[in-house]
Amino acid sequence: MADFPHTLAAMPTTRRPGCPFDPPEELIEARARSPISRFPFPDGHQGWLVTGYDLTRAILADPRFSSRRELMKHHPTIDFGDIEVPPAPPGEFLLMDEPQHSRYRKPLVGKFTVRRMRLLTERVEQITAEHLDAMEQAGPAADLVTAFAKPIPAVVICELLGVPYEDRAFFQENVDKFLGGEASDEEVMAAYLATQRYLAELVAAKRANPTDDVLSDLLDSDLTDEELQGMALILLSAGFDTTANMLALGTFALLQNPDQLAALRDDPALTDQAVEELLRYLSVAKQFFRVALEDVELAGQTIEAGTMVILSLNTANRDPERFPDPHALDLRRRDGGHLAFSHGVHQCLGQQLARVEMRVAFPALFDRFPTLRLAVPAEEVPLRPEAADIYGVKSLPVTWDAATVPPGV
Ligand code: HEM
């Protein structure tokens, strides 16, 4: 192939007009040329962009590729210059390799199993119903992001971590600022520091007075308070914005695909499959990075030690060699194996929780508001910029016919 390896000159900044759910065209084209492309980072580093499904999955499972933060010296859209990137703080295991990573992940695994998360279903149903009640009373119009998509995962994570009820508003406000993608850099930093301080106080409070929650459960281990604080921060940052964006963008996608929404309404048994397909189709956690620890031969290329690799999960999840007709939202799809929760040692720890939240929240929303629809033309729904870590909508104005809300609900 004359132009192999293909080079992607820069990260695309927008999606094709009218296609808010598809990865940017440049990434789809890059994958069509080859599963791996050269990618020159803005600071001059010659890295790689991986877009093919098989290759992405292989790299995610390969211990020769690192997640360590201090090795991530380059950014796909920002020139860091000579700034030294420090290692991840204690407990922030998403950006660590073995054996440090396991020190923190292992004690948490048992707390996020399918069985433990299923036990939470009833509580998630209650939380969802409360938010739907409030939305209905304030309606018949709402911003689905603030009324539904953000508060439901926020309340769930607060309860899991044991954030006292009276602190919820402060906590949610700060978390939303530092993860919500809407605040200025200064606001993000202030909210991040406030959340860190809050979590330090929370861990100290649990030490003094343990309660029934994930943090208190870990107090008997040899983990220090600083480590517990870092773990809490990771649970929070990985679990809140992702699920919130899936709920909002997923609702938008279903409203834009009325035949699929009708199929889901007609057959509630389709819910689990529908959630998996929405995860694949939307892949809101769209890209992650790895660094080669040694020279690695893959797909006919040598990925040199120290080189950064961008793994485009959303493009890999649209690979036609893995998913026939990949750009169609098909809730009856049975292909399985999407990479929306990643793969390998860092595969999402909270995936069973996210599944419970989505399996409860989507059907409950469409049951409560059978005539739910966009309140603005689809092209006016404000999208998050491509630069945001997690993709989604900034707001989702919706409306419904008040009379069609089932009586007594
Ligand atoms: C739909 C919602 C979610 C999506 C799409 C998602 C996606 C992901 C992805 C792609 C990763 C792997 C990153 C990598 O390979 O480097 C990850 C890791 C992680 N997620 Fe999720 N996530 C979601 C919800 C949650 C929830 C609800 C929680 C829990 C509270 C959670 C906790 C975590 C944690 C702790 C990690 C780090 C795992 C590790 O490094 O070992 N996530 N998530």
- Residue 49 C-alpha from the chain's centroid: 20
- The model's confidence at residue 2, banded by pLDDT at 50, 70 and 90, is very low
**CB 30 near ligand 1, within 6 Å:** no
Cβ-contact 149, 248 below 8 angstroms: yes
Using CA positions, which residue lies closest to atom 6 of ligand 1?
A: 341
CA distances in angstroms from 291 to 62, 74, 88, 294, 296, listed in the order given: 11, 10, 15, 9, 11
Residue owning tokens 């040692």: 345
Is 212 or 66 the better-scoring residue by pLDDT?
66
Using CA positions, which residue lies closest to atom 38 of ligand 1?
A: 346
Residue of 341, 343, 362 best suited for mutating to test ligand 1, as the one with most atoms within 8 Å of CB: 341
**CB 284 near ligand 1, within 6 Å:** yes
Angle between helices 185-208 and 168-179 (to 10 degrees): 140
pLDDT tens-digit series, residues 112-127: 888 888 888 999 999 9
Comparing CA positions, the residue from 257, 398, 335, 322 lying closest to residue 58 is: 322
Query: 347 C-alpha to center of ligand 1: Å?
Result: 7
Residue 66 CB coordination number (10 Å)? 20
pLDDT at 299 over 90: no
Give DSSP secondary structure letters for 330-378. Answer: -TT-------TT--GGGS-TTHHHHHHHHHHHHHHHHHH-TT-EESS-G
- Residue 335 C-alpha from the chain's centroid: 21
**What does the pLDDT read at residue 238?**
86
pLDDT at 406 over 80: no
19-23, 163-167, 343-347, range with the lowest pLDDT: 163-167
Q: Where are the beta strands (DSSP E) in 17-145?
A: 36-40, 46-50, 65-66, 141-143
Comparing CA positions, the residue from 142, 150, 148 lying closest to residue 397 is: 142
DSSP 4: P
**How far is Cα 49 from Cα 289, in angstroms, rounded to an integer?**
9
Q: Which of ligand 1's atoms lies nearest the C-alpha of 353?
A: 27
- The model's confidence at residue 403, banded by pLDDT at 50, 70 and 90, is low
**CB 348 near ligand 1, within 6 Å:** yes
Is 220 or 375 the better-scoring residue by pLDDT?
375
Residue owning tokens 């009276």: 166
**CB 214 near ligand 1, within 6 Å:** no
Using CA positions, which residue lies closest to atom 11 of ligand 1?
A: 348
Q: Say what percent of the chain tops pLDDT 90.
A: 74
**CB 346 near ligand 1, within 6 Å:** yes
Q: Give the mean pLDDT of the chain.
A: 92
**What does the pLDDT read at residue 180?**
67
**What does the pLDDT read at residue 117?**
85
pLDDT tens-digit series, residues 165-202: 788 888 878 877 877 667 788 888 898 889 889 999 99
**CB 233 near ligand 1, within 6 Å:** no
Cβ-contact 181, 242 below 8 angstroms: no
H or E element: which one contains 397?
A: strand 397-399
Query: 345 C-alpha to center of ligand 1: Å?
Result: 11
Q: Which of ligand 1's atoms lies nearest the C-alpha of 354?
A: 27
pLDDT at 278 over 50: yes
**CB 342 near ligand 1, within 6 Å:** yes
Comparing CA positions, the residue from 393, 385, 389 lying closest to residue 310 is: 389
Query: 111 C-alpha to center of ligand 1: Å?
Result: 14
Query: 5 C-alpha to center of ligand 1: Å?
Result: 31
**How far is Cα 293 from Cα 304, in angstroms, rounded to an integer?**
8
Mark out the alpha helices in 209-257 (DSSP H runs). 214-217, 225-256
DSSP-derived pairing of the beta strands 308-312 and 46-50: parallel
Query: 105 C-alpha to center of ligand 1: Å?
Result: 12
H or E element: which one contains 257?
A: none
**What does the pLDDT read at residue 163?**
85
Residue of 236, 338, 351, 358 best suited for mutating to test ligand 1, as the one with most atoms within 8 Å of CB: 351
H or E element: which one contains 308?
A: strand 308-312
pLDDT tens-digit series, residues 204-252: 999 999 988 899 999 989 999 999 999 999 998 888 889 999 999 999 9
**Residue 94, phi then psi, degrees to nearest 5:** -60, -30
**CB 239 near ligand 1, within 6 Å:** yes
pLDDT tens-digit series, residues 37-62: 999 999 999 999 999 999 999 999 99
pLDDT tens-digit series, residues 70-119: 999 999 988 878 788 899 999 999 999 999 999 999 999 988 888 888 88
CA distances in angstroms from 80 to 20, 207, 259, 324, listed in the order given: 29, 39, 46, 39
Token couple for 41: 């980072």
Residue of 113, 237, 242 best suited for mutating to test ligand 1, as the one with most atoms within 8 Å of CB: 242
Q: Which of ligand 1's atoms lies nearest the C-alpha of 236?
A: 30
**CB 234 near ligand 1, within 6 Å:** yes
Amino acid occupying residue 395: S
Stated pTM of the model: 0.95
Contacts with 76 (C-beta within 8 Å, 6 or more apart), sequence order = 11, 39, 41, 42, 287, 310
DSSP-derived pairing of the beta strands 397-399 and 373-374: antiparallel
